[in-house]
Amino acid sequence: QSALTQPPSASGSPGQSVTISCTGTSSDVGTYNYVSWYQQHPGKAPKYMIYEVSKRPSGVPDRFSGSKSGNTASLTVSGLQAEDEADYYCSSFAGSNNVVFGGGTKLIVL
Amino acid sequence: QVQLVESGGGVVQPGRSLRLSCAASGFTFSSYAMHWVRQAPGKGLEWLAVISYDGSRTHYADSVKGRFTISRDSSKNTLYLQMNSLRPEDTAVYHCARAPRGDSSGYYLGMDLWGQGTTVTVSS
């Protein structure tokens, strides 16, 4: 159950697009289309942003989108806004009834 | 109001036990699989355990298997985490989280509702 790999930080200016990667293995991200993404502001509970790689729950702006290629999933935030500054975590079903999270990425809006 | 509220955290000595609770309200608790996830100070999220909607299936991360037990009481709309043989590395904020409806086992669709968490500190 090794954690998924995310870059520690990512940044962009308001209005720009930023992509955060989430790299796993053929035992998790590479095999299953069960990748989710969460946004967490300091001191707050995580918020559900993406599920099944690219689906958005009701209420999540369409500026947030997800994709996957091979063992790497990605979250793209388009039209960056100040309130998008937060920590972002990916998670994946990892087979054998396990769930694994990434280490998290701090998104900085310049 | 749809929400999850954790309780039961505190300061505990290494080797001791603690039981966390998660009170669910605003939705049909018995229809949803539930998770426990923790976050150590300054660290990322770590999945700990999942229980199916009816309590018939549970599964644990290797880091807590044999020490932690997840359970639920649908008559009380409450999820529990019994933590035994606590270690300093178990110090964290513990969140309960709900799997979306339709994911009866809880493994596949992530977690669509989270509680604010309860803090556990393991220290002598």
- pLDDT tens for chain A, 110 residues: list them: 678 999 999 999 999 999 999 999 999 999 999 999 999 999 899 999 999 999 999 999 999 999 999 999 999 999 999 999 999 999 999 988 889 999 999 999 99
What's the confidence (pLDDT) of residue B45? 94
Mean pLDDT score, B75-100: 97
Residue of B nearest to A57 (CA): B112
Closest CA to B41 of B95, B119, B99: B119
CA distance A86 to A105: 8
Confidence tier at B1 by pLDDT (50, 70, 90): very high
Q: What is the pLDDT of residues B26-74, one digit of tens each?
A: 999 999 999 999 999 989 999 999 999 999 999 999 999 999 999 999 9
B114/A98 CB distance under 8 A: no
The answer to whether residue B62 neighbours chain A at the CB level (below 8 Å) is yes
Mutate to test the interface with B, among A48, A55, A60, A90 (most CBs of B within 10 A): A48
By the 10 Å C-beta count (0-12 exposed, 13-18 middle, 19+ buried), A58 is classed as: exposed
Residues of B in contact with A38 (CB under 8 A): 45, 110-111
A98/B35 CB distance under 8 A: no
Summary mean pLDDT of chain B: 95
What's the confidence (pLDDT) of residue A1? 64
Buried b (16+ CB within 10 A) or exposed e, B87-107: eeebbbbbbbbbbbeebbbbb
Of B44, B108, B112, the CB nearest to A101: B44
What's the confidence (pLDDT) of residue B105? 83
CA distance B22 to A91: 22
The answer to whether residue B42 neighbours chain A at the CB level (below 8 Å) is no
What are the phi and psi torsion angles at B88 (to 5°)? -55, -35
